[in-house]
């Protein structure tokens, strides 16, 4: 639009200023009315006229314009110090979390938003673009379920290092704080940071300046597990596990891409996020006869051997449960359970069961029924199953 004359306030003649929307360190966003198309849009105006800053600003617009995805705000027009884009109306991710007092409802909405973000990031990564600035202020949620990932100002082409450290203190991934090359796992860390924020109401790292982080290596320390939000129930164990895996210090130990992160979120939503997932190698003793019983288990994958008094009596596989009596009567374990193969289980405690039932999950009601039936089965029935007189 080289032929467009800019008005004194920095806007082309076709645009009518409708007021300030937001102000940041590098730019200002204003609401405007496009007289030609008769629609409401937004304009982002650079706060600097330095050549280096303007080049970076222009690159943000060009990178964002290449990402044609429903969860990424489209760019309409580009000038020397400004670009116009879709006007996003709604609340930030952080505002959404704070506004909902019911933890179950809030987490349900959070998972929907995170799954949409995973789709947007997977698309961007396919185009070799890394966002690098995931934080509550950069996620917008519309009144009809729209989700937008905004502010691609420090986005980086995958595999390329930059000569400066950029990011938001407290939300920046360790490798990013050290000025190292970023990849999809850097954005996975950001997804984990958003989930972490929902679980405990704070960012993963205490706020330091970028220079302090680079100088002291403070981001080289592991993130502490979320402890919950004051006035709300403790965070669901499975969501804590997912967040902490995404926030691993070593990128190789994280989810390797947003799709893998999304897969675990979907499993948690379907199978119960109050039920922690544990993995046991073949040969591991999961429970031992005579030990105190305080939880039950649902086998998600693999097979186990059930033995009593040193002798095998049964084999259980995926979808089957053991230890249900602990949900009703506690007491001691009546059998030893050993992993025959690598086994993944869901841990069912009474507290988790009650929380899952309140969430409306089908699994809680199912396990309650199983526990009630199991409580009626005597040790004589177990002996009969083993072929004993």
User: Known catalytic residues?
Assistant: 133
Token match 């544990």: residue?
A: 278
User: What is the C-alpha separation between 322 and 370, in angstroms, rounded?
Assistant: 10
Helices (H) and strands (E) in the chain, counts: 11, 18
Q: How many residues does the chain have?
A: 389
**Residue 287, phi-psi category: left (phi > 0), alpha (psi -120 to 50), beta (remainder):** beta
User: What is the C-alpha separation between 297 and 326, in angstroms, rounded?
Assistant: 10
**Residue 266, phi-psi category: left (phi > 0), alpha (psi -120 to 50), beta (remainder):** alpha
Under 8 Å between Cβ of 249 and 177: no
By the 10 Å C-beta count (0-12 exposed, 13-18 middle, 19+ buried), 281 is classed as exposed
Kindly report the number of other CB atoms within 10 A of residue 60's CB atom: 20
DSSP secondary structure string for all residues of 20-64: EEEE-SSEEEEEEEETTTTEEEEEEEES---HHHHHHHHHHHHHH
User: What is the C-alpha separation between 276 and 355, in angstroms, rounded?
Assistant: 13
Tokens of 337: 């359970």
Helical segments of the chain, H only = 51-65, 93-99, 103-126, 174-177, 184-200, 210-216, 237-246, 258-271, 350-359, 362-376, 379-385
Token match 């100002």: residue?
A: 153
CA angle (93 as vertex; 88, 94 as ends), nearest 5: 125
Q: What is the largest CA-CA distance in the chain?
A: 97
Of 68, 90, 137, 147, give the one whose Cα is nearest residue 113: 147
User: What is the C-alpha separation between 41 and 184, in angstroms, rounded?
Assistant: 31
């Amino acid at each position: 639009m080289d032929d467009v004359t800019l008005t004194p306030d920095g806007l082309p003649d076709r645009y009518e200023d409708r007021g300030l929307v937001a102000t940041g360190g590098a730019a200002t966003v204003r609401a405007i009315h496009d007289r030609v198309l008769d629609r409401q849009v937004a304009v982002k105006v650079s706060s600097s006229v330095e050549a280096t800053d303007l080049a970076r600003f222009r690159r943000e617009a060009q990178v964002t314009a290449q990402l044609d995805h429903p969860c990424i705000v489209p760019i309409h027009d580009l000038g020397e110090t400004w670009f116009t884009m879709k006007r996003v109306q709604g609340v930030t991710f952080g505002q959404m979390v704070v506004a909902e007092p019911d933890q179950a409802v809030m987490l349900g909405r959070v998972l929907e938003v995170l799954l949409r973000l995973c789709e947007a990031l997977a698309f961007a990564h396919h185009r070799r673009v890394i966002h690098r600035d995931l934080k509550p202020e950069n996620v917008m949620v519309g009144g009809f379920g729209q989700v937008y990932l905004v502010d691609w100002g420090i986005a980086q082409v995958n595999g390329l290092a930059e000569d400066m450290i950029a990011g938001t203190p407290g939300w920046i991934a360790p490798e990013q704080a050290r000025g190292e090359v970023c990849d999809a796992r850097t954005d996975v860390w950001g997804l984990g940071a958003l989930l972490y924020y929902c679980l405990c109401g704070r960012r993963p790292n205490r706020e330091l300046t970028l220079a302090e982080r680079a100088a002291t290596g403070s981001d080289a320390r592991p993130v502490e597990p979320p402890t919950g939000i004051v006035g709300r129930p403790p965070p669901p164990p499975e969501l804590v596990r997912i967040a902490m895996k995404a926030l691993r210090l070593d990128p190789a130990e994280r989810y390797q891409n947003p799709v893998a992160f999304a897969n675990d979120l979907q499993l948690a939503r379907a199978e119960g996020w109050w039920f922690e997932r544990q993995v046991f190698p073949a040969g591991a003793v999961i429970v031992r006869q005579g030990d105190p019983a305080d939880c039950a288990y649902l086998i998600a994958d693999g097979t186990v051997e059930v033995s009593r008094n040193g002798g095998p009596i049964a084999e259980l596989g995926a979808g089957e449960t053991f230890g249900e009596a602990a949900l009703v009567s506690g007491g001691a374990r009546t059998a030893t359970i050993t992993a025959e193969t690598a086994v993944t289980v869901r841990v069912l405690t009474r507290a988790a069961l009650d929380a899952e039932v309140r969430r409306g999950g089908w699994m809680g009601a199912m396990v309650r029924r199983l526990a009630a039936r199991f409580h009626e089965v005597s040790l004589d029935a177990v002996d009969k199953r083993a072929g004993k007189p």
